[in-house]
Chain A
Amino acid sequence: MTEGTSQTAAAAAPLGIAKAATHSASTQCFKGNAKAALGDRDLQNALKFVEVNFIARRQEVADRLPEFEALRDAARDIKDHTLAYLDLYLEAYERRMTEQGGNVHYAVTAEDARNIILDICRKLGARAVTKGKSMVAEEIGLNDFLDANGIAAVETDLGEYIIQLRHEMPSHIIAPAVHLTKAQIEGDFRRAHSDLPRERNLEEPTSLLAEARSVLREKFLAADVGITGANFLVAETGSSVIVTNEGNGDLTATLPRAHIVLASIEKVVPTLEDLAQLLRVLARSATGQEMSVYTTLTTGPRRAGDLDGPAEYHVVLLDNGRSAMLGGEFRDMLRCIRCGACMNHCPVYHAVGGHAYGWVYPGPMGAVLTPALIGIDQARDLPNASTFCGRCEEVCPVRIPLPKMMRSWREREFERHLSPAAARWGLAFWAFFAKRARLYRFATAVAARLMALAARGRGRFRHLPLASGWTRHRDFAAPQGATFQSQWQARRGAARGNADPPGEQGARP
Chain B
Amino acid sequence: MTARDLVLATVRRSLGVAGTEAPRRAAVAARLADHPTGVVPARGRLAPAARIDLFARMVEGAAGTVECIAEPSAIPQAVAAFLRRHNLALAVRHGDDPRLAALPWERGPLEVRRGASDGNDLAAVSHAFAAVAETGTVVLVSGADNPTTLNFLPDVHIVVVDAADVAGDFESVMARLRERFGPGALPRTVNMITGPSRSADIEQTLILGAHGPRKLHVILAGSH
Contact = CB atoms under 8 A, between A and B. Distances in A.
Interface in B116-175: 116-119, 134-137, 142-144, 147-149, 151-153, 169-171, 174
Contacts of B61: 290
Contact of B148 (A53, A177, A254, A293): A254
Given A176-B201, A290-B62, A279 B170 contact: yes
Contacts of B201: 157-159, 162, 175-178
Contacts of B102: none
B211 A246 contact: yes
A297 B197 contact: no
Interface stretch (B71-79, B84-92, B103-111, B182-190): B182-190
Interface in B30-50: 31-32, 35-43
A408 to B, nearest CB: 17
Given A70-B39, A178-B204, A298 B188 contact: yes
A227 to B, nearest CB: 16
Given A107-B3, A291-B137, A309 B142 contact: yes
A236 B184 contact: yes
A156 B211 CA distance: 9
A21 interface: no
A290 B134 CA distance: 9
Most buried by A among B25, B119, B188: B188
A308 B121 CA distance: 15
B128 to A, nearest CB: 14
A319 B7 contact: yes
Contacts of B185: 100, 237
Interface in B201-223: 201-205, 207, 209-213
Given A49-B204, A300-B188, A305 B3 contact: no
A274 interface: yes
Nearest to A53: B204
Given A237-B184, A250-B148, A273 B37 contact: yes
Given A90-B11, A306-B143, A308-B148, A296 B202 contact: no
Contacts of A237: 184-186
Contact of B210 (A78, A209, A292): A209
A218 B41 CA distance: 42
Contacts of A208: 202
A228 interface: no
Most buried by B among A175, A246, A247: A247
Contact of A86 (B15, B189, B204, B210): B15
Contact of A182 (B19, B170, B203, B213): B203
Contacts of B116: 307-308
B6 to A, nearest CB: 5
A85 B27 contact: yes
A270 B211 contact: no
B39 A88 contact: no
Given A87-B17, A91-B8, A307 B95 contact: yes
A323 B7 contact: yes
Interface residue range, chain A: 35 or more
Contact of B35 (A236, A296, A303): A236
B65 interface: no
Contact of B194 (A176, A292, A326): A292
Contact of B171 (A213, A276, A302): A276
Contacts of A74: 38-39
Contacts of A291: 62, 135-137, 192, 194
A79 B7 CA distance: 19
Given A323-B10, A324-B10, A326-B14, A298 B189 contact: yes
A246 B203 contact: no
A340 to B, nearest CB: 13
A500 interface: no
30 contacts: A74-B39, A87-B12, A100-B185, A107-B3, A108-B3, A108-B7, A112-B3, A205-B205, A217-B119, A220-B119, A220-B211, A235-B32, A238-B184, A246-B212, A247-B197, A247-B210, A250-B148, A250-B152, A251-B153, A251-B212, A265-B7, A290-B135, A293-B194, A297-B186, A297-B189, A299-B189, A303-B142, A303-B187, A307-B95, A326-B11
Interface of A: 46, 49-50, 53, 65-67, 70-71, 74, 78, 81, 84-92, 96, 100, 104-108, 112, 156-159, 162, 175-178, 180-182, 185, 205-206, 208-209, 213, 216-217, 220-221, 235-239, 245-248, 250-251, 253-255, 265, 270-274, 276-277, 279-280, 287, 289-303, 305-309, 317, 319, 323-328
Identify the 7 closest CB pairs spanning chains A and B, nearest first.
A247-B212, A327-B14, A246-B210, A159-B201, A323-B10, A326-B14, A307-B116
Interface of B: 2-4, 6-8, 10-17, 19, 24-25, 27-28, 31-32, 35-43, 58, 61-62, 95, 115-119, 134-137, 142-144, 147-149, 151-153, 169-171, 174, 177-178, 184-205, 207, 209-213
Given A175-B200, A287-B200, A294-B194, 18 more contacts: A46-B203, A70-B39, A86-B15, A87-B15, A88-B19, A91-B8, A112-B3, A180-B202, A182-B203, A213-B209, A213-B210, A216-B211, A250-B148, A271-B31, A271-B32, A273-B37, A277-B39, A297-B186
